[in-house]
Amino acid sequence: MSQNIENKVVVITGASSGLGAETARHLAAQGAKVVLGARRLDRLESLAAELGLDARAILSTDVTDYLQVQALVDRALELHGRIDVLINNAGLMPSSMLDKLKIEEWNRMIDVNIKGVLYGIAAVLPKMKEQKSGQIINVSSVAGHKVGPGGAVYAGTKWAVRAISEGLRQEVKPWNIRTTIVSPGAVDTELTGTITDEDIAKGMAKTYENAIPASSFARVVAFAISQPDEVDVNEILFRPTVQVY
Ligand SMILES: NC(=O)c1ccc[n+]([C@@H]2O[C@H](COP(=O)([O-])OP(=O)(O)OC[C@H]3O[C@@H](n4cnc5c(N)ncnc54)[C@H](OP(=O)(O)O)[C@@H]3O)[C@@H](O)[C@H]2O)c1
């Protein structure tokens, strides 16, 4: 077990599949007290059973609703009295060319990928300020560094995550709060299942042929959390070794 992960109270959004679920497994195995949110409660229940979690350590949470995000964080406080790490992980990637005018999908990405992250920050900041400690980990993407055809809105949301995270980093210094951006390349999860545009889906399937396991992300998160308190790992960008873009 890692010294600086064991017993930490870690809230993860989007914990019902992919990166969030795998990170819950990895951190729980290292002794973290995980509290997990997502909309699919049946998935969270299976994960809780697998990890032997208290039934109260999972909560149906839609990150587009600020009150639900607050309720998830409040649950962690009720159970453990503190919050050490928030992983703002929930997200979706229904990529398409702008001229397809998939406005509902643009709105959804903005609501989940940007506003969901802001709601998470709002939900934990007062307590972390009071504690004078904490770590907020926001999940961006290689798409937060690069944009290509079909990826304008998704990249826009992930760019926004990096901008918000950097502003947050500068502002929370007085309270000893750490901030980390994790920007993955192609990782094997359910993410590409959110793409409704057939042409984009085909191209993406090709890119994701080289996707690496979600455990790669979990190890990166664990690395950032496990650093000594005075070490603030601000961003990690990683890709499959063979991924060009
Ligand atoms: N996989 C990659 O290649 C990759 C690369 C770069 C960045 N990322 C980012 O990694 C994060 C996790 O994605 P993933 O790859 O693990 O995909 P995933 O397997 O599809 O997981 C996405 C998670 O987000 C949750 N979610 C979606 N909408 C939500 C909402 N409104 N409220 C609460 N939770 C919601 C889903 O849970 P419910 O549906 O149960 O709510 C699910 O648990 C995302 O932010 C994604 O953009 C992934």
Residue ranges per structural domain of the chain:
9-237
Residues 94-119, mean pLDDT to the nearest whole number:
98
The CA dihedral of 129, 57, 72, 127, to the nearest 10 degrees, is: -10
Which pLDDT value is given to residue 27? 98
Residues 177-205, mean pLDDT to the nearest whole number:
97
Whether the per-residue pLDDT at 1 is higher than 60: the answer is no
Query: Is 20's C-beta closer than 6 angstroms to any atom of ligand 1?
Result: yes
Residues 145-151, mean pLDDT to the nearest whole number:
97
Instruction: Look at the chain and count its residues.
Output: 245
Whether the per-residue pLDDT at 3 is higher than 90: the answer is no
Whether the per-residue pLDDT at 6 is higher than 80: the answer is yes
Q: Considering the domain 9-237 in this protein, what is its CATH number?
A: 3.40.50.720
Whether the per-residue pLDDT at 35 is higher than 70: the answer is yes
Verify whether residue 66 is a known catalytic residue. Answer: no
Query: Is 17's C-beta closer than 6 angstroms to any atom of ligand 1?
Result: yes
Which pLDDT value is given to residue 207? 92
Whether the per-residue pLDDT at 2 is higher than 70: the answer is no
Beta pairing partners, 11: 35, 86
Report the b/e string of 20-59 with b at 16+ CB within 10 A. bbbbbbbbbebebbbbbbbeeeebbeebbeebebeeebbb
Residues 6 or more apart whose CB falls under 8 angstroms from that of 171 comprise: none
Q: What's the whole-number average pLDDT of the chain?
A: 97
Query: Is 151's C-beta closer than 6 angstroms to any atom of ligand 1?
Result: no
Residues 6 or more apart whose CB falls under 8 angstroms from that of 201 comprise: 192, 195
Encoding tokens for residue 78?
Answer: 């009720």
